[in-house]
């Protein structure tokens, strides 16, 4: 290990017949990317989860601890923090809808950094250091109410895939004229027993050349009933329980009928044309988005679909190689398989904080301001004299309409500065980085953190920026920090882009979602 200290990530997640295994499986995917970054992992599960995972072989190598407290309770948060401290955890990953805002807040108060796995912006306020929503439909407006330091990782760039998918030699597949091999999977628990309904509907079609792989998760309580029914059928159906190689079944499948949960992203990555059934409310936007993009066909809410609709869509798809090929290509374009590496990269970065500037920062800010690249990007390119800078800086520190913050990491390294000039209910933002910190993503983070901080402190309605049209790096940083282009101007003789971050627009967006 070359003398480096191995850090620990603690995962707080559950799995049982009621909530299924999706939360646990995506945490497993993230955990599998950690050893290569010298990160240990510890999983903390409620004792009620033990029955649902004992037969899952993919979990054998995990360090799992069980706690007896009520899941999501105050005592749960205390036990979780205690285990995190005992294991020297630098991060706690929380994944589950039964962990409410108070739970997240109590864990965060421990001082340990937290990552919240989320799907739908369900909390009134977010305290986590990072929010991860891997769904394609995820947008910033869902997380308007969050701490200034909270970083957002949103969209399918961050889809978490397990080793069994990433270790496959390739994703190319043959597209037969007539689909013969199908996959039926409704998640880890399938409490409504949608699997049996789908199996019956497909068997009614009497397609002699069809082979159907039926996958039942470890928490599925309907196994005896489904097995008894399949035993009465011909060799059409093959039942698989507690599989550790669903990626192989996907690779062999010509199409799938599936719930619209985590499996949807795995099938998109594998290029499996899919008919999706919504079996939980949080799956509805996933199914609708994949349907609108042409990567899958949404059959709708499980309680509203009919055998006729399922059979009709199924027959159309198995007989249309052109549509299946198009769905394969679109799906593989959405999920590239690099999501978990992107998340681990963010986790391993040093924490960034903002502190108010003081008189001791005068020389440092002077050096940043006179850097050659900074002067070239500024509207006034002339070198600043020391005397003029000192006078300007002392004036700004005393100015109630100006706030200057220094960004630094947990190692004490100064990264850059962000300044806000008040203009009624608006704030004008400017930023500069230490030369050694450029092209590392710090600009976006500092802009985003500073913007949220000034909006909370000053009740600012919008933050505006003016950037030279030629300053591509700065324009990209503001765009990645969710600023929008407002217009093009001529400012001090330079073609410039007006950018804005509006509080009202974000709040409306958040309400809409």
CATH of residue 370: 3.40.630.30
The predicted pLDDT at position 149 comes to 82
Same domain, 135 and 52: yes
360-393 pLDDT per residue, tens:
999 999 999 999 998 888 888 899 999 999 999 9
Residue from 482, 485, 483, 408 nearest 442 by CA: 408
Q: Select, from the ranges 56-70, 319-333, 470-484, the one with the highest average predicted confidence (pLDDT).
A: 319-333
Tell me the pLDDT band of 3, cut-offs 50, 70 and 90.
Answer: very low
Query: 108 lies in a domain?
Result: yes
Same domain, 236 and 274: yes
Model confidence at 509: pLDDT above 50: no
191-208 pLDDT per residue, tens:
899 999 999 999 999 998
How many folded domains does the chain comprise?
3
Half-sphere exposure of 147 (CA within 13 A, CB side): 20
DSSP 401-441: TEEEEEEEETT--EEEEEEEEEETTEEEEEEEE-GGGTTSS
Q: What is the mean pLDDT of residues 230-255?
A: 89
Domain at 19, CATH number: 3.40.50.11190
Query: 339 lies in a domain?
Result: no
Q: What is the mean pLDDT of residues 83-105?
A: 96
Minimum mean pLDDT among 9-18, 37-46, 220-229, 496-505: which range? Answer: 496-505
Same domain, 501 and 356: yes
The last residue of a domain, from among 97, 132, 160: 160
The predicted pLDDT at position 21 comes to 83
Query: 213 lies in a domain?
Result: yes
Model confidence at 137: pLDDT above 90: no
% of the chain surpassing 70 pLDDT: 95
The helix or strand, by DSSP H or E, that contains position 14, with its residue range, turns out to be none
3-state secondary structure of 374: helix
Give the span between the Cα atoms of 168 and 485, in whole angstroms: 42
The predicted pLDDT at position 512 comes to 32
Residue from 397, 407, 470, 411 nearest 433 by CA: 407
Q: What is the mean pLDDT of residues 410-423?
A: 94
Same domain, 366 and 276: no
Tell me the pLDDT band of 56, cut-offs 50, 70 and 90.
Answer: low
Query: 276 lies in a domain?
Result: yes
The predicted pLDDT at position 18 comes to 78
Tell me the pLDDT band of 54, cut-offs 50, 70 and 90.
Answer: low
Same domain, 116 and 186: no
Same domain, 481 and 361: yes
Same domain, 309 and 366: no
Same domain, 194 and 316: yes
Query: 341 lies in a domain?
Result: no
Give the span between the Cα atoms of 250 and 45, in whole angstroms: 29
3-state secondary structure of 149: coil
Domain at 270, CATH number: 3.40.50.2000
Residue range(s) defining the domain that contains residue 397: 352-512
Same domain, 124 and 228: no
Query: 26 lies in a domain?
Result: yes
Same domain, 377 and 309: no
Q: How many CB atoms lie within 10 A of CB 273?
A: 27
Query: 193 lies in a domain?
Result: yes
304-332 pLDDT per residue, tens:
999 999 999 999 999 999 999 999 999 99
The predicted pLDDT at position 501 comes to 94
253-282 pLDDT per residue, tens:
999 999 998 899 999 999 999 999 999 888
Q: Which two tokens stand for residue 249?
A: 């079944």
Q: What is the mean pLDDT of residues 402-425?
A: 94
Q: What is the mean pLDDT of residues 460-473?
A: 93
Give the span between the Cα atoms of 479 and 482, in whole angstroms: 5
The last residue of a domain, from among 93, 126, 160: 160
The predicted pLDDT at position 131 comes to 97
Same domain, 452 and 490: yes
The last residue of a domain, from among 114, 143, 160: 160
Same domain, 299 and 411: no
């Amino acid at each position: 290990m070359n003398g480096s200290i191995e850090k620990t990530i603690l995962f707080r997640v559950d799995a049982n017949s009621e909530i299924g295994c999706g939360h646990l499986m995506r945490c497993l995917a993230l955990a599998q990317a950690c050893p290569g970054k010298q990160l240990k992992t510890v999983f903390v599960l409620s004792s009620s989860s033990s029955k649902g995972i004992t037969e899952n072989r993919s979990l054998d190598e995990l360090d799992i601890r069980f706690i007896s407290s009520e899941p999501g309770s105050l005592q749960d948060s205390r036990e979780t923090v205690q285990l995190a401290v005992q294991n020297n955890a630098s991060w706690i990953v929380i994944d589950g809808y039964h962990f409410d805002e108070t739970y997240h807040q109590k864990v965060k108060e421990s001082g340990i950094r937290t990552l919240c796995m989320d799907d739908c912006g369900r909390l009134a306020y977010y305290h986590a250091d990072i929010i991860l929503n891997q769904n394609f439909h995820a947008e910033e407006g869902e997380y308007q109410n969050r701490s200034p330091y909270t970083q957002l990782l949103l969209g399918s760039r961050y889809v978490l895939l397990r080793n069994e998918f990433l270790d496959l030699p390739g994703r190319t597949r043959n597209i037969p004229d007539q689909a013969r091999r199908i996959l039926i999977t409704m998640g880890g628990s399938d409490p409504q027993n949608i699997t049996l309904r789908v199996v019956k509907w497909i068997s009614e079609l009497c397609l002699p050349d069809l082979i159907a792989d039926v996958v039942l998760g470890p928490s599925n309580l309907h196994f005896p009933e489904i097995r008894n029914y399949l035993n009465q059928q011909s060799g059409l159906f093959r039942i698989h329980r507690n599989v550790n190689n669903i990626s192989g079944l996907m690779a062999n499948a010509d199409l799938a009928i599936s719930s619209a949960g985590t499996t949807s992203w795995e099938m998109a990555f594998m290029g499996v044309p899919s008919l999706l059934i919504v079996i939980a409310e949080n799956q509805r936007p996933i199914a609708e988005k994949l349907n609108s993009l042409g990567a899958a066909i949404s059959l709708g809410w499980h309680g509203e679909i009919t055998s006729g609709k399922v059979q009709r869509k199924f027959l159309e798809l198995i007989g249309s190689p052109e549509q299946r090929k198009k769905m394969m290509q679109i799906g593989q374009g959405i999920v590239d398989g690099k999501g978990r590496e992107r998340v681990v990269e963010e986790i391993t970065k040093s924490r960034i904080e903002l502190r108010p500037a003081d008189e001791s920062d005068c020389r440092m800010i002077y050096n940043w301001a006179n850097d050659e690249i900074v002067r070239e990007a500024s509207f006034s390119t002339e070198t600043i004299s020391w005397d003029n800078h000192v006078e300007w800086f002392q004036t700004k520190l005393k100015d109630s309409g100006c706030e200057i913050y220094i960004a630094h990491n947990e190692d004490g390294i100064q990264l850059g500065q962000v300044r806000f000039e008040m203009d009624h209910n608006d704030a004008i933002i400017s930023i500069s980085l230490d030369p050694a910190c450029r092209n590392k993503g710090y600009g976006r983070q500092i802009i985003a953190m500073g913007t949220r901080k000034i909006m909370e402190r000053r009740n600012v309605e919008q933050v505006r920026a003016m950037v030279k049209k030629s300053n591509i790096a700065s324009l990209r940083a503001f765009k990645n920090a969710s600023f929008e282009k407002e217009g093009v101007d001529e400012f001090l003789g330079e073609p410039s882009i007006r950018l804005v971050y509006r509080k009202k627009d974000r709040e409306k967006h958040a309400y809409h979602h």
